[in-house]
Amino acid sequence: MEIDVRVERLPLRAPVRITGYTFIEVPVIVVELREGEHVGRGEAAGIYYRAESPQRMIAQIDAIRPVLSAGADRSMLAHLLLPGGARNALDCAFWDLEAKRTGKPAWQLAGLQAPVPKITTYTLGADDPDAMAQLARSYPQARALKLKLTGEPIDAERVRAVRAVRPDVWLGVDANQGFGMDSLRQVMPAFIAADVRLIEQPVPPALDDGLPGLQSPIPIAADESVLCLADLPRCVGRFDAINIKLDKCGGLTEALAMARVAKVLGFKVMVGNMGGSSLAMAPGFLLAQLCDLVDLDGPLVLANDRSPGVIYEDGHISCPESLWGNPVVTRA
DSSP 204: -
Q: Which fold has domain 2-103?
A: Enolase-like; domain 1 (3.30.390)
Percent helix / strand / coil, the chain, rounded to 5:
40, 25, 40
174 is in an annotated binding site: yes
On the 0-12 / 13-18 / 19+ scale of CB atoms within 10 A, 103 is exposed
152 is in an annotated binding site: no
Which residue is catalytic, options 104, 245, 248, 268? 245
Identify the DSSP state of 274: S
Rounded-to-integer distance, Cα 182 and Cα 169, Å:
28
For the chain, where do the domains classified as CATH 3.30.390.10 start and end?
A: 2-103
Check if the beta carbon of residue 169 is closer than 8 Å to that of residue 142: yes
CATH classification for the domain delimited by 118-318, as one of 3.40.50.300, 3.40.50.10140, 3.20.20.120, 3.40.50.970: 3.20.20.120
List CB contacts of 78: < 8 A, sequence separation 6 or more. 87, 250, 253, 254
Integer Cα distance of 14 and 202 in angstroms = 25
The residue among 231, 213, 304, 308 whose CA lies nearest residue 267 is: 231
CB 203 within 8 A of CB 177: yes
pLDDT of residue 329: 55
- Contact (Cβ atoms closer than 8 angstroms) between residue 40 and residue 32: yes
In the chain, ranges of CATH 3.20.20.120 domains = 118-318
Task: For residue 200, say whether it is annotated as part of any ligand binding site.
Answer: yes
Report the distance separating Cα 273 and Cα 235, nearest Å: 20
Kindly name the residue from 146, 148, 248, 268 that is annotated as catalytic: 148
For this structure, is 248 an active site residue?
no
Q: Is 148 a catalytic residue?
A: yes
Residue 293's CB is within 10 A of a number of other CB atoms, namely: 26
The residue ranges of the chain whose pLDDT is under 70 are 329-332
Residue 45: which of 327, 272, 331, 286 has the closest Cα?
Answer: 272
